[in-house]
């Protein structure tokens, strides 16, 4: 069976030896790939599983960490945070060419576009966006020590390390010199908070990194894509979520082809309303939120530049990457304006 990123013979042999109880694998197909980790649905005799592995080519150090994803969904399985069922992890790169893990298939929808939400009423889209904020608050409310994640990160100095990390990622990925990047990094460094809260953070929280039930009563069934999770400042999570958010009158954000568009549908909370609902259910002070949204916008610019670099190398899987590089300067300028405001 010829599927990009999968050696079918080795995979079936590994599953027979390590997870024989899930049934014999019969077929596999790619359901998401190219921009980040590759995700496949795997059918066995009596159930469906999902396999996650890193992208092909140009994998940055510390990025696309399958062991990290596996550990956090295993730790959260018994908490109020909805995650897929953890099934098995494989660290042997000889099986499919990289570490991977298997998790239970969640019968929910990945809501990425307005078309995905086209059948929902404004009341339903509002409830869906409220639940997204409430689940983010639930992630931040987890007692990470109690669930075995006390050593999952170093909360002290988290934002400083984040700025250093994403600056290093930029240097490894950049395809052109952009002075706007250097000046933005300097401004963010000057504004780093002296102290911040410490919680479990997802690191890439947005609507299309969840699986949702859309009707009759919308809900978030599972949070996925935990590769960037760690212990750190919860406002960094909220700021990044709002980086992905698009209000109906925000044409500039519409030009960035990453997780934009669906939230302009009638009924969705605005970015300001989403932040206010999160603050209400979590009890968090969001008075310095503009800094965190600017930081999230900077982080997204670096991520998009990495995708653009993989596209230039011919290492993306899927379509729609040819214009993504143009979004990088747009995001850098947007972050500067947020700091100005």
Q: What is the pLDDT of residues 191-224, one digit of tens each?
A: 999 888 999 999 999 999 999 999 899 999 999 9
Residue 320 pLDDT > 70: no
The answer to whether residues 221 and 212 touch, using CB atoms and an 8 Å cutoff, is yes
pLDDT reported for residue 58: 47
Q: Identify which of 2-6, 38-42, 63-67 has the greatest average pLDDT.
A: 38-42
Beta bridge partners of 41: 29, 50
The chain-wide mean pLDDT, for the chain, equals 91
Q: Which of 297, 12, 84 is nearest to 180 (CA)?
A: 297
Model confidence at 62: pLDDT above 70: no
- Closest by CA to 299, choosing from 233, 337, 243, 225, is 243
The confidence score (pLDDT) of residue 289 equals: 96
pLDDT at residue 61 greater than cutoff 50: no
Q: What confidence score (pLDDT) does residue 336 get? A: 97
Q: Are the CB atoms for 14 and 51 separated by under 8 Å?
A: no
Q: Return the sign of the alpha-carbon dihedral for residues 294, 274, 254, 309.
A: positive
Least confident of 15-24, 62-71, 85-94, 165-174: 62-71
Q: Is 200 helix (H, G, I), strand (E, B) or coil?
A: strand
Whether 33 shows a pLDDT value over 70: the answer reads no
Per-residue model confidence (pLDDT) at position 334 = 96
Cα gap 312→325, rounded to integer Å: 10
Share of the chain above pLDDT 70, in %: 95
pTM for this structure? 0.88
Confidence label for 293 from pLDDT (cuts 50, 70 and 90): very high
Cα gap 128→338, rounded to integer Å:
27
Cβ(1)–Cβ(9) below 8 Å: no
Is-contact 262 207, C-beta < 8 A? yes
Q: What is the pLDDT of residues 35-54, one digit of tens each?
A: 568 999 999 988 999 999 98
Within 10 A of 192 (CB to CB), how many other CB atoms are there? 14
Residue 57 binned pLDDT confidence (cut-offs 50, 70, 90): low
| Whether pLDDT at 24 is above 60 | yes
What pLDDT is stored for residue 161 in this prediction? 94
Provide the 8-state DSSP code for 174: -
pLDDT digits (tens, 9 = 90+) for 132-155: 999 999 999 999 999 999 999 998
Give which of 339, 106, 78 is closest to 224, Cα–Cα. 106
């Amino acid at each position: 069976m010829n599927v990009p990123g999968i050696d079918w013979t080795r995979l079936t042999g590994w599953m027979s030896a390590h997870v024989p109880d899930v049934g014999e694998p019969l077929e596999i197909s790619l359901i998401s790939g190219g921009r980040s980790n590759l995700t496949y649905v795997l059918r066995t005799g009596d159930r469906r599983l999902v396999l996650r592995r890193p992208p092909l080519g140009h994998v940055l150090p510390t990025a696309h960490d399958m062991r990290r994803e596996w550990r956090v969904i295993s730790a959260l399985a018994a908490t109020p945070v909805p995650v897929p069922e953890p099934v098995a992890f494989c660290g042997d790169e000889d099986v499919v060419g990289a570490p991977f893990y298997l998790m239970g298939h969640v019968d929910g929808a990945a809501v990425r576009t307005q078309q995905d939400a086209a059948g929902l009423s404004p009341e339903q889209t509002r409830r869906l966006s409220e639940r997204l904020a409430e689940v983010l608050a639930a992630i931040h409310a987890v007692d990470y020590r109690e669930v075995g994640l006390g050593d999952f990160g170093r909360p002290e100095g988290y934002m400083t390390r984040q700025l250093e990390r994403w600056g290093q990622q930029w240097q490894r990925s950049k395809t052109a010199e952009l002075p706007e990047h250097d000046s933005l990094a300097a401004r963010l460094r000057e504004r780093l908070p002296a102290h911040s809260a410490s919680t479990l953070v997802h690191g890439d929280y947005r609507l299309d990194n969840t699986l949702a039930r859309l009707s009759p009563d919308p809900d978030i069934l599972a949070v996925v894509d935990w590769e960037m999770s760690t212990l750190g400042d919860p406002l960094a999570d909220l700021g990044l979520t709002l980086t992905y958010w698009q209000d109906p009158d925000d044409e500039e954000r519409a030009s960035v082809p990453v997780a934009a568009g669906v939230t302009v549908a009638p009924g969705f909370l605005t970015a300001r309303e989403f932040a206010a609902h999160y603050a209400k259910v979590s009890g968090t002070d969001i008075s310095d939120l503009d800094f965190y949204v600017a930081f999230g916008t900077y982080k997204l610019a670096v991520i998009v530049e990495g995708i653009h670099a993989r596209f230039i190398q011919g290492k993306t899987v899927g379509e729609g990457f040819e214009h993504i590089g143009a979004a990088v300067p747009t995001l850098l300028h947007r972050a500067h304006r947020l700091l100005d405001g």
